[in-house]
Structure 1
Amino acid sequence: MKAVILAAGYGTRLQRDVSADRSGRFDHLVGSAKPLLPVGRCALISHWVRALTASGAVDSVYVVTNALYRAAFEEWAAHFTNVQILSDQTRSNDERLGAVACLQLAVKHFKIEDHVIAIGGDTLFKEDFSLSQVKEKFSDFQAKCDDSCLVLSYQCRDEETHKYGILEVDSELCVLRMKEKPLPSETKSRRACPCFYVFSKKSLPLLDTFLEEKEEAPIEEKDAPGNFVSWLIPRKPVYVHQISGRFDVGNLPSYIECDLYFKENLQDAKSYMV
């Protein structure tokens, strides 16, 4: 299995918050890519690489970034033996390809013909999350059907459904549909779906089909990888693995919360996410 970490975003909300802050506490974050932000004792993305390596879940980690941050990611990656960096060649948020196109770019560039874990580079999970468990669950679903894919879900509050893709599942934990940012009245489900997906190797050619269909669509329809997952659900079996929650670093308050947790509350850094 391979891992593709999607890290080509420009972090516009976070950088706007950092520029507006007058305390000086966060000046060191100016111009930093979100996955490279210090979270606890290391960069956010380093938590992923360490866990992916220690769990044996994957044999290669590919990081897709942009031309603006490429040098910084290459400097970071020099500390690891199993990480390769790929630039999408864009230099601004207006030029961005979108996360689905970045995933496709990695699959083609690195000639991936294996199952792929796609991970949002600004996301971390609570301590109950285990890559070893995910690998085991995915293997179980693959034994049933080798087309099977796997996504995560966690319970969100009623007032949060409009922020997330919400999964509706059957009794076998197979996803029936994903509703994008529904009102609480529009679904009984409260299963939010974070940016972590295990795509079977048989599903990867559908990235091409999806992007061909969306060629003339606005970038918003191609950016969030959840749009591809939603499109994939009627075409391939997609199953759910439940977790307790996540950290999503989108703005300065969410970064501060995440960093504080990893500095003060993380119980076992060595086994985290393994």
Structure 2
Amino acid sequence: MTREYPKPLLEVKNKPIINYIINNLNSVKIIDELIVVTNSKFIGRFRQWKLRFKGRKKITLVDDRTKSNEDRLGAIGDINFVLRNRRIKDDLLVIGGDNLFSGNLNEFINFALKNKPNTTIGAYRLKNKNDASKYGVLKVGRDHRVVEFKEKPKRPNSSLVAMCLYYIPVEQLSLIGNYMKLNKNKVDATGKYVDWLKKKADIFCFVFKGSWFDIGDHKYLAAANKDFK
């Protein structure tokens, strides 16, 4: 769907998806900089977008220096690229650029801060459990800890799925690099990192309300244009 155009810049109701994400972030006072990671192929389009966009927070564009699917770093690889090149020494909020959601980010971050130094992931409960087979499926205990994670199971036992939305405390940033060294062939899907991390530390889950669309193809883009509020 987006070989020639980046998903975050696809429009929903005449506005790029990334605009919705940033507008949601504007209300989060503890965030002082927004880092947008893209590749060499699309960096020009993001520069054009940035010139037009009027935001409240500092926006930094990062080119991960890749040009195709063959040499792409993957989602975890891009996070690691930013950590190494920006020398980040603070908590990190990661949001997938094709995630369109209306839930309250302040509530998510307040929840995450209470559960530091552990990572917190955002989740959403689908109406149809069968649709969960396209995502990472979660089982969560009463204390909001993730007790089970399955990446795209054929027969999901839950309708609760992981969004590409993570609060990673500074204490756990080094684990990204550790994962990269051990799992060089599993850097594309963030769910694989969640599965790996779950075996090493507690992960907490915050369930978002409102609407959520993972813009993976034209069908979901059309649905978002119709139903997103």
What is the TM-score with the length of structure 2 in the denominator? 0.91
Instruction: Confirm or deny that 1:88 pairs with 2:81.
Output: no
Structure 1 counterpart of 2:115: 141
Instruction: Determine if contact 1:177/1:234 at 8 Å carries over to the other structure.
Output: no
CA distance in 2, matches of 1:229, 1:98: 15
**CA-to-partner distance for each residue in 1:220-271, whole Å, 9 max, x for gaps?**
x210111111111122221111124511111112112212334xxx2xxxxx
Q: Following TM superposition, by how much is the alpha carbon of 1:77 offset from its aligned partner in structure 2, in angstroms?
A: 2.0
Structure 2 counterpart of 1:164: 135
Instruction: Determine if contact 2:9/2:18 at 8 Å carries over to the other structure.
Output: yes
Instruction: Confirm or deny that 1:175 pairs with 2:175.
Output: no
* Change beyond 3 A, Cα 1:252–1:210: same
Q: Following TM superposition, by how much is the alpha carbon of 1:155 offset from its aligned partner in structure 2, in angstroms?
A: 2.0
* Change beyond 3 A, Cα 1:130–1:214: same
Which amino acid in 1 is paired with 2:171? K
- SS in structure 2 opposite 1:84? strand
- SS in structure 2 opposite 1:55? coil
Structure 2 counterpart of 1:11: none
CA distance in 1, matches of 2:170, 2:222: 37
Which amino acid in 2 is paired with 1:98? G
How many positions carry a matched residue from both structures? Answer: 224
Q: Following TM superposition, by how much is the alpha carbon of 1:56 offset from its aligned partner in structure 2, in angstroms?
A: 1.9
Root-mean-square deviation (CA), in Å? 1.7
Pick one of 224, 229, 247 that aligns with 2:213.
247
What is the TM-score with the length of structure 1 in the denominator? 0.76
Structure 1 counterpart of 2:6: 33
Instruction: Determine if contact 1:137/1:241 at 8 Å carries over to the other structure.
Output: yes
CA distance in 2, matches of 1:32, 1:182: 30
Instruction: Confirm or deny that 1:227 pairs with 2:196.
Output: no
**CA-to-partner distance for each residue in 1:16-62, whole Å, 9 max, x for gaps?**
7xxxxxxxxxxxxxx32110112224211011112212332411100
Q: Following TM superposition, by how much is the alpha carbon of 1:138 offset from its aligned partner in structure 2, in angstroms?
A: 1.2
Instruction: Confirm or deny that 1:199 pairs with 2:175.
Output: no
- SS in structure 2 opposite 1:151? strand
Identity of counterpart residues, as a percentage? 26
Structure 2 residue runs without a partner (length 5+):
none
Structure 2 counterpart of 1:151: 121
Instruction: Confirm or deny that 1:131 pairs with 2:105.
Output: yes
Structure 2 counterpart of 1:99: 75
- SS in structure 2 opposite 1:193? strand
CA distance in 2, matches of 1:172, 1:137: 12
Instruction: Determine if contact 2:129/2:158 at 8 Å carries over to the other structure.
Output: no
Structure 2 counterpart of 1:211: 180
CA distance in 2, matches of 1:192, 1:45: 21
